[in-house]
């Protein structure tokens, strides 16, 4: 339920925006700055995992290193297969973040295309396309995902990106559709049509750019959402195939040893929670800065 | 009013039909087939494989299977589970009431706590109480539900509150009704509490925002000017009007709730719809998966419709629409 939260009142509320003013006002917001720094650190950790990780994430250290609690040598302890947890979390960040970012990109592309066609065409095409969106929104996403993976067995990373993308575009398409409908009869669009531009050109060059601002917020919050969904899928045992570890699979490993080794579920979960919190703050501040309440949460 | 209801029902049925269709074809578009693990058994002859496929109609073209499925579902027949060899309806009959019990308990507690907390926060916006509880709620709402559930399991494992299952397996069926009910309630506390905590976090944010939106209105200023006490202004006048967005939220939160229930059920081994779905996915038992998806989307549609009706009931202005 993370994306449904509103975070207090931002000092940025209620101004019209331009890119420059947006940047300068956001940097003056301490909460935004903290969230952005956190995300930067997480991204750097993921990017430089091979250099930062003190041990090989997939290789057992030695026979004596089984499920050790946190210590000076192993900051986050070791797991039941004698592997260093900190290293596994660092490498897990790579997969978790890459999968999330790419699948949100897929979802945004699909949502934009679908919503743009529906909004621009109008009439029965719009009605038909939007009913499909209603249906998509009526299935809890995790159940839709589960029903898809029910026949796939283990998923490769590209497959999981596609599957996550294909189940995440419904909300975005509605945003784009509403935006396109609002701007397609405006003067600039009418003028472009009158001067002989093809419908495709009018849509892509003149109408869509105005409809895409809300997508910035939707995409940001979407990444926060999909990080959790991906982790949840892995937690249930249907995510990226082992031995590659995502934060979700790490928490799943921790669950099996919840009574004996608390660190195995606590640390990966903390990494996940901190990242999601930072993304939510970022998305929420962006939303307030870009014009407040008319932008719904995805 | 009657025509609105009729239109809503038609819309709802359309959406449920679409979700069934989407899910059906998604499942069939996936590589692999049901029974893959079973049919690969080298001891089976090709005839036996063909017979198994034919028994479940899997040798037919997908479109024919789809039409058959729709026809069967419209008569209330969801087929037989591939694994349990029982009608899916009977399996759902066990699981759905448990999920309903869990969700209803969590909803009531979560909404009551969330509304109360949000109202207190909104009435004293900016106070240390508002800041403290507010940031806690934001933090809670960002926590992945399955991880929160896991932390609860970790905290309470070994105490008198059971962290797993729906009832004590050693309790004989012949035990008195009262004992068995209490046993189920004891098992309910932690999963329902976890879900309620997440709901309360979400609801309180909305309640707070709704109250803050409404407090500066002219009619409230009038009430205050006429000498009505602050407490009464907030709780008698403002809260009633700030209720509308919360009602809508309740109806629209059903998908998020069902999603959350999947994880909470899986973590606490609560044998409801969510656990059933997770298990069925592992077993490639897709009549069960399909039925759960269909039923969940029906719940979602119903939730949205109930939110509309409740809105109309609470706000006289909408009745004429």
Structural domain includes residue A241: yes
Residue B31: CB partners within 8 Å, gap ≥ 6?
A: A151, A152
Structural domain includes residue A121: yes
- With an 8 Å Cβ cutoff, is B38 touching chain A? no
Residues of chain A with Cβ-Cβ distance to B255 below 8 Å are 137-141
The distance of Cα A263 from the centroid of its chain, to the nearest Å, equals 26
Residues of chain A with Cβ-Cβ distance to B95 below 8 Å are none
Of B143, B280, B289, the CB nearest to A273: B143
Asked if B262's CB is within 8 angstroms of A142's CB, the reply is yes
Is the pLDDT reported for residue A162 higher than 70? Answer: yes
**Which residue out of B107, B132, B142 would a mutagenesis test of the A interface target, given it has the greatest number of A Cβ atoms within 10 Å?**
B142
- With an 8 Å Cβ cutoff, is A137 touching chain B? yes
The residues with which A240 forms a beta bridge, in sequence order, are A155
Structural domain includes residue A216: yes
Structural domain tally of chain A?
1
Residues of chain A with Cβ-Cβ distance to B278 below 8 Å are 146, 236-237
Structural domain includes residue A67: no
Q: Report the 10 Å Cβ neighbour count for B5.
A: 12
Residue closest to A35 by CA, chosen among A247, A289, A298: A289
* Tokens encoding B162: 């059971």
- With an 8 Å Cβ cutoff, is A159 touching chain B? no
Residue closest to A83 by CA, chosen among A95, A67, A71, A96: A67
- With an 8 Å Cβ cutoff, is A130 touching chain B? no
Contact B34/B284 with Cβ under 8 angstroms?
A: yes
The residues with which A84 forms a beta bridge, in sequence order, are A78
Contact B167/B187 with Cβ under 8 angstroms?
A: yes
Is the pLDDT reported for residue A102 higher than 90? Answer: yes
User: Tens digit of pLDDT for each residue in A208-257?
Assistant: 887 777 788 888 888 988 999 988 888 888 877 766 788 888 888 888 88
Asked if B258's CB is within 8 angstroms of A148's CB, the reply is no
Q: Report the 10 Å Cβ neighbour count for B42.
A: 4
Question: Distance (Å, rounded) from C-alpha B291 to C-alpha B222?
Answer: 54
Contact B201/B114 with Cβ under 8 angstroms?
A: yes
Identify the sign of the CA torsion A219, A223, A225, A229. positive
Helix axes A85-121, A213-235, angle to 10 degrees: 130
Q: Report the 10 Å Cβ neighbour count for B10.
A: 10
Residues of chain B with Cβ-Cβ distance to A144 below 8 Å are 23, 26, 293
Kindly indicate the confidence band of residue A13, based on its pLDDT and cuts at 50, 70 and 90.
very low
Structural domain includes residue A124: yes
Kindly indicate the confidence band of residue A294, based on its pLDDT and cuts at 50, 70 and 90.
very low
Distance from the A150 Cα atom to the nearest Cα atom in chain B, whole angstroms: 4
Asked if B267's CB is within 8 angstroms of A255's CB, the reply is yes
Give contacts of B 219-258 with A, CB under 8 A: 249, 253, 255-256, 258
Identify the sign of the CA torsion B137, B140, B141, B142. positive
Distance from the B48 Cα atom to the nearest Cα atom in chain A, whole angstroms: 21
Of B154, B201, B300, the CB nearest to A262: B154
**pLDDT at res. A3:** 37
- With an 8 Å Cβ cutoff, is A171 touching chain B? no
Structural domain includes residue A244: yes
Of B27, B143, B292, the CB nearest to A143: B292
**Which residue out of A143, A154, A166, A297 would a mutagenesis test of the B interface target, given it has the greatest number of B Cβ atoms within 10 Å?**
A143
Name the closest residue on chain A to residue B150, using Cα atoms. A255
* Tokens encoding B219: 């009619």
Is the pLDDT reported for residue A35 higher than 70? Answer: yes
Residues of chain A with Cβ-Cβ distance to B266 below 8 Å are 235-236
- With an 8 Å Cβ cutoff, is A59 touching chain B? no
* B192-223 per-residue burial string, b: 16 or more CB within 10 A, e: under 16: bbbbbbbbbbbbbbbbbbbbbebbeeeebeeb
Residue A223 gets the label, from left (phi > 0), alpha (psi -120 to 50) or beta, of: alpha
Question: Distance (Å, rounded) from C-alpha A261 to C-alpha B103?
Answer: 31
Residues of chain B with Cβ-Cβ distance to A155 below 8 Å are none
**pLDDT at res. B16:** 85
Structural domain includes residue A68: no
Asked if A280's CB is within 8 angstroms of B202's CB, the reply is no
How many A×B Cβ pairs under 8 Å? 182
Question: Distance (Å, rounded) from C-alpha B93 to C-alpha A187?
Answer: 58
* B226-252 per-residue burial string, b: 16 or more CB within 10 A, e: under 16: eeeeeeebbeebbbebbbbbbbbbbbe
Q: Report the 10 Å Cβ neighbour count for B185.
A: 13
* Mean pLDDT for chain A overall: 80
User: Tens digit of pLDDT for each residue in B205-261?
Assistant: 888 888 887 777 767 777 777 777 777 776 666 677 767 777 777 777 788 888 888
Q: Which helix (H) or strand (E) holds A115?
A: helix A85-121
Residue closest to B273 by CA, chosen among B103, B85, B26, B144: B103
* Tokens encoding B231: 């407490």
Q: What residues in chain B have per-residue pLDDT under 70? A: 1-2, 29-41, 218, 234-238, 242, 315-321
Residues of chain A with Cβ-Cβ distance to B267 below 8 Å are 255
Residues of chain A with Cβ-Cβ distance to B158 below 8 Å are 259
**Which residue out of A140, A275, A276 would a mutagenesis test of the B interface target, given it has the greatest number of B Cβ atoms within 10 Å?**
A140
Question: Distance (Å, rounded) from C-alpha B92 to C-alpha B287?
Answer: 11
Residue A266 lies in domain: 2-50+85-290
Name the closest residue on chain B to residue A139, using Cα atoms. B297
Name the closest residue on chain B to residue A298, using Cα atoms. B256
**pLDDT at res. A18:** 62
Structural domain includes residue A41: yes
Asked if A143's CB is within 8 angstroms of B150's CB, the reply is no
Residues of chain B with Cβ-Cβ distance to A149 below 8 Å are 281
Asked if B27's CB is within 8 angstroms of A148's CB, the reply is yes
Is the pLDDT reported for residue A190 higher than 60? Answer: yes
User: Tens digit of pLDDT for each residue in A51-68?
Assistant: 887 777 777 777 776 777
* CATH number of domain containing A261: 1.10.3720.10
- With an 8 Å Cβ cutoff, is A30 touching chain B? no
- With an 8 Å Cβ cutoff, is B197 touching chain A? no
Asked if A143's CB is within 8 angstroms of B144's CB, the reply is no
SS3 label, residue A157: helix
């Amino acid at each position: 339920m993370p994306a449904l939260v509103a975070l207090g009142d931002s000092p940025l509320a209620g101004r019209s925006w331009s890119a420059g003013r947006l940047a300068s006002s956001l940097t003056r917001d301490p909460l935004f700055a903290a969230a952005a720094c956190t995300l930067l650190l997480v991204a750097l950790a993921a990017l430089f995992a091979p250099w930062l990780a003190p041990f090989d994430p997939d290789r057992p250290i030695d026979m004596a290193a089984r499920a050790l609690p946190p210590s000076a040598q192993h900051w986050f302890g070791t797991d039941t297969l004698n592997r260093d947890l900190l290293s596994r979390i660092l490498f897990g960040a790579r997969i978790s973040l890459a999968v999330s970012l790419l699948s949100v990109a897929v979802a945004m592309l699909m949502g934009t295309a679908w919503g743009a066609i529906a909004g621009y065409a109008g009439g029965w095409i719009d009605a038909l396309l939007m009913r499909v969106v209603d249906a998509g929104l009526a299935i809890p996403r995790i159940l839709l995902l589960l029903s898809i993976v029910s026949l796939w067995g283990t998923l490769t990373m590209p497959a999981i990106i596609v599957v996550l993308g294909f189940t995440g575009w419904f909300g975005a398409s509605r945003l784009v559709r509403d935006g396109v409908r609002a701007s397609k009869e405006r003067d600039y669009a009418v003028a472009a049509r009158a001067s002989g531009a093809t419908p495709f050109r009018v849509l892509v060059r003149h109408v869509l750019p105005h409809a895409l601002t809300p997508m910035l917020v939707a995409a940001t919050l979407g990444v926060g959402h999909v990080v959790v969904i991906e982790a949840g899928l892995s937690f249930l045992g249907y995510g990226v195939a082992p031995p590659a570890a995502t934060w979700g699979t790490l928490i799943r490993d921790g669950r099996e040893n919840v009574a004996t080794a608390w660190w195995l579920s606590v640390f990966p979960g903390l990494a996940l929670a901190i990242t999601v919190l930072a993304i939510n703050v970022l998305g929420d501040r962006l939303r307030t800065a870009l014009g407040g309440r008319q932008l719904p949460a995805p | 009013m009657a025509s609105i209801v009729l239109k809503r029902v038609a819309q709802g049925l359309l959406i449920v039909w679409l979700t069934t269709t989407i899910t059906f074809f998604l499942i069939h578009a996936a590589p692999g087939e049901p029974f893959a693990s079973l049919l690969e058994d080298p001891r089976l002859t090709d005839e036996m494989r063909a017979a198994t496929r034919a028994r479940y109609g899997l040798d037919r073209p997908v479109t024919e299977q789809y039409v058959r499925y729709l026809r069967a579902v419209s008569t209330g027949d969801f087929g037989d589970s591939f694994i349990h060899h029982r009608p899916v309806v009977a399996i759902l009959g066990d699981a759905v009431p448990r999920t309903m019990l869990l969700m209803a308990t969590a909803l009531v507690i979560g909404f009551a706590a969330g509304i109360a907390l949000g109202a207190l926060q909104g009435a004293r916006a900016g106070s240390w109480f508002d800041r403290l509880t507010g940031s806690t709620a934001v933090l809670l709402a960002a926590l992945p539900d399955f991880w929160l559930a896991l932390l609860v399991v970790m905290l309470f494992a070994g105490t008198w509150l059971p962290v797993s299952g729906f009832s004590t397996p050693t309790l004989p069926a012949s035990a008195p009704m009262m004992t068995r009910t209490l046993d189920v309630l004891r098992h309910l506390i932690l999963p329902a509490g976890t879900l309620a905590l997440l709901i309360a976090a979400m609801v309180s944010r909305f309640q707070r925002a709704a109250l803050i939106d409404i407090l500066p209105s002219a009619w409230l200023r009038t009430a205050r000017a006429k000498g009505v006490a602050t407490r009464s202004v907030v709780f008698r006048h403002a809260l009633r009007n700030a209720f509308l967005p919360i009602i809508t939220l309740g109806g629209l939160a059903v998908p998020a709730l069902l999603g959350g229930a999947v994880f909470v059920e899986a973590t606490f081994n609560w044998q409801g719809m969510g656990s059933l779905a997770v298990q069925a996915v592992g077993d490639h038992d897709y009549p069960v998966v399909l039925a759960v998806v269909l039923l969940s989307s029906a719940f979602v549609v119903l939730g949205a419709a109930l939110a509309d009706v409740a809105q109309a009931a609470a706000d006289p202005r909408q009745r004429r629409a």
